[in-house]
Structure 1
Amino acid sequence: MIEARGISKQRGGRTLWADLALTVAAGEVVALTGPSGCGKSTLLDCIGHIDRVDSGTISIGGVDAGRSARRARLLRRDHIGYLFQDFGLVHDATVGTNVDLARPTGLGRRRGLSTAAALEQVGLGGRSTARAHELSGGEQQRVAVARLLVKQPSVILADEPTSALDAVNAALVLDRLESFAAAGAAVLIATHAPSVTARVHRVVTLGDGRDRGPA
C-alpha cells in the first residue's frame, strides 16, 4: 500500500536520509524509530504528500503523485489519514465539528461511521457539543481517532501518537490502529516508545538501515 523507492531528503544543508526504501503492506503496522533529528516526521510528511522528497518515488496504493499538486491533494483526500502528536484539532470548534471535518464528500466516497457512532467507539459518546479545548489530552487524541473512523483511510500515518498520553489512552489508540490494520489499512507510526514498538509487525530504524520484527 505504501511503497517508497530510492528516496532522499535534505534539510538545512543536511541529508536526513538518502536512497531509502520502505514498504508498508495493507494490513500491516510498522513502527518508524530513530534518534531525534533523523527525519521521522519529515518522512511521514513526504509519504503523506504534505512535503516532497528530493529524489526517488513514493506511491500510495500504486499511485505515484509525482510532482503534481492535484494528484497529491487527491491522495491526501481519498486515501490518507493522519494522527498527530499535537492532536491536530480546531481548538475552538466542537468535538462533532472536528470529527465531521474528516468525512469524505462526493459521490462514490467510502462511508465510515457516523459522527455519533465514532465518538461512542472512542468513549466520547454525548460529548459532540463540547469544545475541543475543553477536553484533556487523552480525550483530544480520541477525537482524532474518531476522525479516522469516519474517514476510513487506506493509509494511516501517526506521528508520536501516544507520547502525550497516559497508559490507558495510549493503549486505546494502539488498539484502534491495530483494528484499522486488521480491516486492511497500512499503518506507519513514528515513535520513540517501547510500548508501541512491542506491538507492531515490523520496526524500521532510520539512520542504521535496520528493519526488524517486534521488539
Structure 2
Amino acid sequence: MTPYLHFASEYMELGGRTLWSSLEISAEPGEMVALMGPSGSGKTTLLNCLGALTRPSTGSLTVGGVGVHPASSAVRRKFRRDHVGYLFQNFALVESESVEKNIVAPLRIMPRKRRPSASDISQALSSLGLVGREKDKVCGLSGGEQQRVALAAVLVKKPSLILADEPTGSLDDANARVIIESVRRLTDQGACAVIATHDHDVARSCDRVVNLQKFTVSA
C-alpha cells in the first residue's frame, strides 16, 4: 500500500554542496514524524521539499496518491493551499497587525466555502488559551502567545499535512507542550505531521524519528 506521504530523493544539491543521498521518507495519517540531525543536515530544506516550496534536485513527492513533484506550478500551489499547514520557529506573523488578521490573511487564497468563520477563529484561540484576543496586536504578545497564534491559523485551516520547523525552539517548556499537544490533536483527527527539531523531548512525543545524519554526504 502506498503511504499517504512519500518522498524519495537520490541526492539534493544546495549552495554548491550535496545535502543528502539515497533519502526516503514517508508518513501516514495519524503520525507525527520527527526530523533530527545536526545543523546543516538539511532539515529545513527537506520540509520545504515536502511542502512543495523547494524543488528537489532529484526524486519524487506524492501526497494522498497525487504527484506533487514533478508537477506544474499550478499543481504545487493547489497542494499548498488545500493540504499544508506550516509552523515556523520565527512564527511568520505580521507584528503590526491584529491576531485575527494574521489568522485570516493566509487563508484568503482558499475557496470561500472553506474559509474559517469568526466563530472558528474564536474557538481555536480559546482552545489555545487566547480567548478574546482577536483584536490584540501581535507586537504586544509574548513569544509563546505568538506561536499559539500561528498554531491557531493551522487549526482553523485543518490541513492534512503539518510541517513544523523547530516550532518549540524559542519557547519555554509550558508553551512547547501546548504546541506539541495541539499538533497531536490534529494528527488524532487524521492529519500527519513532520517536525524538524533538535529537542529530544519533542522527538520522544513523536511516533518515529528520522535522523538525517544517516543520509548526509561527507565533505
**For the superposition of Structure 1 and Structure 2, which TM-score range results when normalised by the shorter chain?**
over 0.9
- Give the match for residue 206 of structure 1: 212
- Give the match for residue 141 of structure 1: 147
Question: Which structure exhibits the higher relative contact order, with contacts defined as CA atoms closer than 8 Å and separated by 6 or more residues?
Answer: 2
SS across alignment from 1:115: helix
**C-alpha separation between the residues in 2 aligned to 1:120 and 1:67?**
39
Instruction: Compute the displacement of 1:62 (Å).
Output: 1.5
Q: Which residue among 68, 81, 100 is the counterpart of 1:96?
A: 100
SS across alignment from 2:184: helix
- Give the match for residue 111 of structure 2: 106
- Give the match for residue 213 of structure 1: none
Q: Structure 1 residues 96 and 194 mapped into 2: Cα distance closer, same or farther (>3 Å)?
A: same
Instruction: Compute the displacement of 1:9 (Å).
Output: 1.2
Q: Which residue among 83, 90, 95 is the counterpart of 1:86?
A: 90
**C-alpha separation between the residues in 1 aligned to 2:179 and 2:78?**
26
CA contact (8 A) 2:9 2:56 kept: no
Q: Which residue among 162, 176, 182 is the counterpart of 1:156?
A: 162
Instruction: Compute the displacement of 1:108 (Å).
Output: 5.9
Identify the range of structure 1 (170-179 vs 10-19) with the bigger mean alpha-carbon deviation: 10-19
Instruction: Compute the displacement of 1:169 (Å).
Output: 0.3
**C-alpha separation between the residues in 2 aligned to 1:202 and 1:127?**
35
Identity of aligned residues (%): 43
Q: Which string of whole-angstrom CA distances, capped at 9 and with x for unpartnered residues, describes residues 49-100 of structure 1?
A: 1111011001121211224111000000000000000001111110001111
Q: Which residue among 157, 163, 167 is the counterpart of 2:173?
A: 167
Give 1:190's aligned amino acid: A
CA contact (8 A) 1:110 1:152 kept: no
**C-alpha separation between the residues in 1 aligned to 2:128 and 2:107?**
17
Give 1:90's aligned amino acid: V
Gaps of 5+ in 2: none
**C-alpha separation between the residues in 1 aligned to 2:191 and 2:115?**
13
**C-alpha separation between the residues in 1 aligned to 2:97 and 2:10?**
38
- Give the match for residue 196 of structure 2: 190
Q: Structure 1 residues 75 and 7 mapped into 2: Cα distance closer, same or farther (>3 Å)?
A: farther
SS across alignment from 1:114: helix
CA contact (8 A) 1:7 1:57 kept: no
Q: Which string of whole-angstrom CA distances, capped at 9 and with x for unpartnered residues, describes residues 91-142 of structure 1?
A: 1110001111243632664868711111111111111111111111000000
CA contact (8 A) 2:107 2:115 kept: no
**C-alpha separation between the residues in 2 aligned to 1:118 and 1:44?**
25
Q: Which string of whole-angstrom CA distances, capped at 9 and with x for unpartnered residues, describes residues 17-49 of structure 1?
A: 122110011100000000000000000001001
Q: Which residue among 120, 123, 132 is the counterpart of 1:126?
A: 132
Matched, 1:56 2:59: yes
**C-alpha separation between the residues in 1 aligned to 2:121 and 2:163?**
21
Gaps of 5+ in 1: 210-215
Q: Tell me the TM-score normalized by structure 2.
A: 0.91
**C-alpha separation between the residues in 2 aligned to 1:81 and 1:93?**
20
- Give the match for residue 34 of structure 1: 37
- Give the match for residue 6 of structure 2: 3
- Give the match for residue 15 of structure 1: 18
**C-alpha separation between the residues in 2 aligned to 1:19 and 1:108?**
41
